[in-house]
Amino acid sequence: MSVSVVIPCYRSAGTLPSLLARLVPVLRDLSVPYEVILVVDGSPDDTWDVASGLAREIVAVRAIHLSRNYGQHNALIAGIREARFDVIVTMDDDLQHPPEQIPLMLAALEGDRLDLVYGVAHEEEHGAIRNLGSRALKTCISGMLGVRSARVISAFRAFRTRLREGFEELSGPHFSVDVALSWTTTQAGFVHVHMDRRRHGRSNYTPSLLIRHAVSLLLGYSTAPLRVASYLGFLVGIFGLLLGASVLWRFATGETTVAGFTTIASMVALFSAAQLIAVGVLGEYIGRIHSSGTGRPTYLVRERAEQAGSVAVAASAVGVGAHAGGGSGDR
């Protein structure tokens, strides 16, 4: 089993040296061909200088600099498409995912039972509000998108590289690695791992960003909002019929002496709200179709940094050729 580790990097100049200092010995001890791919997602600080310097100093480390900030999942896709080995491991750059836990996930992939393994924390490492938002997002993915493994997903993953063939044609600015992986396999599992708390800065995933991410997932990968709009129209129609019947009954029994402005105003407001909601949902879908049609890229690589023949050196260090274990994972 050969391993490619993909790490999206943003504002992580302070953590990357420590992360690599722990990660490389762990991979070396596995005695398999390996590589580390650092994807700098248009970070405004000196993260690229640090990442490119590490790539030139450490064998088997490659750095990719995206031309702007595309988002974590888009950066992950850039790294996943660059991976050369059998298994891909994704992890964060903030030292919350201990490299020492990677062998546990790789062990779970031994044999043919599982294609995808998530590392799930024994205890949630974020604050109460963030944890609540994260759980709500996972429930949303599980229920509306039909991703059965959603309740245990995390950014700490290990999966067989061949799974990327199922979404290699996917393009556009809106991407979710976990939804894309759910299209390719149902053989997903998890292992409990120890997670550390973030040591530098704070997470970019605020509650508002989690909500935006949930909305993006729903509109990008599900027709559930369209169905909700249809159900809303149906319910409002029933309510309108009942309201109309009530008005006619009052008129027939003589209870209505003057045309009711309140009733008319209420009906207009009610139906207008339903129409605006439906139009808004349709507008979001049309906007996404337009965005895809304009050819907006998932990501664009600005530059790369690596040692010449770094993958071959890493492989030969364990007595294996550069293309050992490539199989269906090689490109």
Give per-residue pLDDT as tens, 249-295: 776 777 665 666 556 766 776 777 777 777 777 777 776 676 666 55
* Alpha-carbon span 89 to 78, nearest angstrom: 14
Mean pLDDT value of segment 61-89: 93
pLDDT value for 328: 38
User: What is the band of 130 on the pLDDT scale with cuts at 50, 70, 90?
Assistant: low
Residue 217, C-beta contacts closer than 8 angstroms, at least 6 positions apart: 137, 140, 141, 145, 176, 179
Q: By mean pLDDT, which of 79-88, 137-146, 317-326 is the weakest?
A: 317-326
pLDDT value for 168: 82
State which amino acid sits at residue 84: R
Of 6, 13, 170, 212, the C-alpha closest to 97 is: 6
| Tokens 């976990």 sit on residue | 178
pLDDT at residue 313 greater than cutoff 50: no
pLDDT value for 311: 53
At 113 the three-state DSSP class reads coil
pTM, to two decimals = 0.70
Mean pLDDT value of segment 23-38: 95
User: What is the band of 231 on the pLDDT scale with cuts at 50, 70, 90?
Assistant: confident
Of 321, 313, 327, 328, the C-alpha closest to 35 is: 313
pLDDT at residue 240 greater than cutoff 50: yes
- The DSSP 8-state label assigned to residue 41 in this structure reads -
| Tokens 């604050």 sit on residue | 127
Mean pLDDT value of segment 220-231: 67
pLDDT value for 321: 36
Contact 201, 11 (CB under 8 A): yes
Contact 30, 63 (CB under 8 A): no
* Alpha-carbon span 132 to 130, nearest angstrom: 5
